[in-house]
Amino acid sequence: MKDILEIGQIVNTRGLRGEVKLNSFSEDKHRFEKLSTILVKNKNEYTEYEIQKVTYSKNQVVLKLKGIDHIDYAEKLKNLYVYVRKSDLEELPEGTYYIADLIGLDVFTESGELLGKVDDILKSEKANDVYVVRSELGVLKYLPAIPEVLKDIDLQNGKIIVNLPKGL
Protein backbone atom coordinates (compact mmCIF):
# COMPACT_ATOMS: atom_id res chain seq x y z
CA MET A 1 0.00 0.00 0.00
CA LYS A 2 1.65 3.19 -1.18
CA ASP A 3 -0.76 5.44 0.74
CA ILE A 4 0.65 4.33 4.11
CA LEU A 5 4.25 4.22 5.30
CA GLU A 6 5.89 2.04 7.92
CA ILE A 7 7.52 4.36 10.45
CA GLY A 8 8.41 2.20 13.44
CA GLN A 9 8.07 -0.92 15.51
CA ILE A 10 6.71 -1.25 19.03
CA VAL A 11 9.40 -3.09 20.98
CA ASN A 12 8.36 -2.84 24.61
CA THR A 13 6.07 -1.33 27.21
CA ARG A 14 6.84 1.35 29.78
CA GLY A 15 5.18 1.53 33.15
CA LEU A 16 1.84 0.08 34.12
CA ARG A 17 -0.43 2.62 32.42
CA GLY A 18 -0.12 1.30 28.88
CA GLU A 19 2.69 3.33 27.36
CA VAL A 20 4.64 1.68 24.53
CA LYS A 21 8.23 2.13 23.41
CA LEU A 22 8.99 2.06 19.74
CA ASN A 23 11.99 2.18 17.48
CA SER A 24 11.39 4.91 14.93
CA PHE A 25 12.36 4.26 11.30
CA SER A 26 11.98 7.95 10.49
CA GLU A 27 14.89 10.31 10.05
CA ASP A 28 12.83 12.82 12.01
CA LYS A 29 12.56 11.30 15.49
CA HIS A 30 10.17 14.09 16.46
CA ARG A 31 7.74 13.23 13.64
CA PHE A 32 5.40 11.58 16.17
CA GLU A 33 4.86 14.93 17.89
CA LYS A 34 3.31 16.19 14.62
CA LEU A 35 0.92 13.24 14.29
CA SER A 36 -2.49 12.87 15.86
CA THR A 37 -2.96 9.18 14.95
CA ILE A 38 -0.99 6.09 13.97
CA LEU A 39 -1.93 2.73 12.49
CA VAL A 40 -0.75 -0.49 14.12
CA LYS A 41 -0.68 -3.59 11.92
CA ASN A 42 -1.57 -6.97 13.42
CA LYS A 43 -1.44 -9.70 10.76
CA ASN A 44 -3.24 -8.03 7.82
CA GLU A 45 -5.39 -5.69 9.86
CA TYR A 46 -4.66 -2.05 10.72
CA THR A 47 -5.99 -0.48 13.90
CA GLU A 48 -5.97 3.30 14.27
CA TYR A 49 -4.90 4.79 17.60
CA GLU A 50 -5.03 8.40 18.72
CA ILE A 51 -1.73 9.64 20.14
CA GLN A 52 -2.27 11.25 23.54
CA LYS A 53 1.33 11.90 24.52
CA VAL A 54 4.84 11.59 23.07
CA THR A 55 7.99 11.34 25.19
CA TYR A 56 11.44 9.85 24.70
CA SER A 57 13.58 7.29 26.45
CA LYS A 58 17.16 7.01 25.20
CA ASN A 59 16.83 6.47 21.43
CA GLN A 60 13.22 5.33 21.57
CA VAL A 61 9.91 7.10 21.22
CA VAL A 62 7.40 6.49 24.02
CA LEU A 63 3.73 6.79 23.07
CA LYS A 64 0.61 6.94 25.19
CA LEU A 65 -2.25 5.78 22.97
CA LYS A 66 -5.91 6.41 23.63
CA GLY A 67 -7.64 3.21 24.76
CA ILE A 68 -4.40 1.54 25.87
CA ASP A 69 -4.60 2.23 29.60
CA HIS A 70 -2.96 -0.82 31.14
CA ILE A 71 0.25 -2.77 30.63
CA ASP A 72 -1.78 -5.86 29.69
CA TYR A 73 -3.18 -4.04 26.62
CA ALA A 74 0.21 -2.56 25.75
CA GLU A 75 1.83 -6.02 25.88
CA LYS A 76 -0.43 -7.10 22.99
CA LEU A 77 1.16 -4.43 20.78
CA LYS A 78 4.76 -5.57 21.31
CA ASN A 79 6.65 -6.40 18.11
CA LEU A 80 3.93 -4.92 15.89
CA TYR A 81 4.76 -2.36 13.23
CA VAL A 82 3.51 1.23 13.19
CA TYR A 83 2.30 3.01 10.07
CA VAL A 84 1.07 6.44 9.13
CA ARG A 85 -1.07 7.67 6.27
CA LYS A 86 0.95 9.66 3.77
CA SER A 87 -1.75 12.31 3.81
CA ASP A 88 -0.96 12.90 7.51
CA LEU A 89 2.68 13.74 6.77
CA GLU A 90 4.11 17.09 5.82
CA GLU A 91 5.14 17.59 2.21
CA LEU A 92 8.75 16.69 1.45
CA PRO A 93 11.18 19.25 0.05
CA GLU A 94 11.95 19.14 -3.68
CA GLY A 95 14.25 16.22 -4.54
CA THR A 96 13.45 14.28 -1.36
CA TYR A 97 11.47 11.04 -1.50
CA TYR A 98 9.99 8.43 0.77
CA ILE A 99 11.85 5.14 0.45
CA ALA A 100 8.54 3.32 -0.10
CA ASP A 101 7.99 5.44 -3.23
CA LEU A 102 11.39 4.47 -4.67
CA ILE A 103 11.25 0.72 -4.07
CA GLY A 104 10.18 -1.04 -7.26
CA LEU A 105 11.01 1.80 -9.65
CA ASP A 106 12.64 0.76 -12.94
CA VAL A 107 16.23 1.96 -13.28
CA PHE A 108 17.55 2.89 -16.74
CA THR A 109 20.89 4.18 -17.95
CA GLU A 110 20.91 7.45 -19.86
CA SER A 111 21.18 5.39 -23.06
CA GLY A 112 17.94 3.56 -22.20
CA GLU A 113 19.31 0.22 -20.94
CA LEU A 114 17.13 -1.31 -18.21
CA LEU A 115 19.34 -2.18 -15.21
CA GLY A 116 16.54 -3.54 -13.03
CA LYS A 117 14.34 -2.32 -10.20
CA VAL A 118 15.17 -0.55 -6.95
CA ASP A 119 15.19 -3.41 -4.44
CA ASP A 120 16.40 -1.59 -1.34
CA ILE A 121 18.00 1.61 -0.14
CA LEU A 122 20.88 1.40 2.29
CA LYS A 123 20.88 4.36 4.66
CA SER A 124 24.09 5.88 5.93
CA GLU A 125 24.64 8.61 8.49
CA LYS A 126 28.25 9.23 7.47
CA ALA A 127 28.03 8.98 3.67
CA ASN A 128 25.43 9.05 0.93
CA ASP A 129 22.64 6.50 0.70
CA VAL A 130 23.06 3.58 -1.70
CA TYR A 131 20.33 2.34 -4.06
CA VAL A 132 20.33 -1.44 -4.48
CA VAL A 133 19.16 -2.32 -7.99
CA ARG A 134 18.24 -5.93 -8.82
CA SER A 135 18.22 -7.09 -12.44
CA GLU A 136 15.72 -9.62 -13.80
CA LEU A 137 18.46 -12.27 -13.35
CA GLY A 138 18.95 -11.29 -9.70
CA VAL A 139 22.26 -9.47 -10.21
CA LEU A 140 22.68 -6.60 -7.75
CA LYS A 141 24.17 -3.20 -8.51
CA TYR A 142 24.91 -0.71 -5.77
CA LEU A 143 24.47 2.89 -6.89
CA PRO A 144 25.50 5.82 -4.72
CA ALA A 145 22.68 8.32 -4.26
CA ILE A 146 24.61 11.31 -5.55
CA PRO A 147 23.61 13.81 -8.27
CA GLU A 148 26.37 12.58 -10.61
CA VAL A 149 24.71 9.12 -10.66
CA LEU A 150 21.00 9.77 -10.10
CA LYS A 151 20.10 11.99 -13.04
CA ASP A 152 16.30 11.88 -12.87
CA ILE A 153 13.77 10.36 -10.48
CA ASP A 154 10.36 10.24 -12.14
CA LEU A 155 7.76 8.92 -9.69
CA GLN A 156 4.94 9.68 -12.12
CA ASN A 157 6.34 7.28 -14.74
CA GLY A 158 7.92 4.87 -12.26
CA LYS A 159 11.53 5.19 -13.35
CA ILE A 160 14.96 6.47 -12.44
CA ILE A 161 17.59 7.52 -15.01
CA VAL A 162 21.20 7.00 -13.92
CA ASN A 163 24.67 7.76 -15.18
CA LEU A 164 26.74 4.70 -14.32
CA PRO A 165 30.21 5.47 -12.97
CA LYS A 166 33.09 3.61 -14.62
CA GLY A 167 33.45 0.15 -13.12
CA LEU A 168 29.74 -0.39 -12.51
The pTM of the full predicted model, rounded to 2 decimals, is 0.73
**Whether 135 and 78 share a structural domain:** no
**Whether 116 and 82 share a structural domain:** no
Q: What is the 3-state secondary structure (H, E, C) of the chain?
A: CCCEEEEEEEEEEECCCCEEEEEECCCCHHHHHHCCEEEEEECCEEEEEEEEEEEEECCEEEEEECCCCCHHHHHCCCCCEEEEEHHHCCCCCCCCCCHHHHCCCEEEECCCCEEEEEEEEECCCCCCCEEEEECCCCCEEEEECCCCCEEEEECCCCEEEECCCCCC
Confirm whether 167 is domain-assigned: no
Read off the CATH number of the domain in which 114 is found.
2.30.30.240
- Domain final residue pick, 60, 88, 116: 88
pLDDT of 140-162, one tens digit each? 999 999 999 999 999 889 999 99
**Whether 73 and 139 share a structural domain:** no
- Domain final residue pick, 31, 55, 88: 88
Residue 12 confidence (pLDDT) = 95
- Domain final residue pick, 67, 88, 109: 88
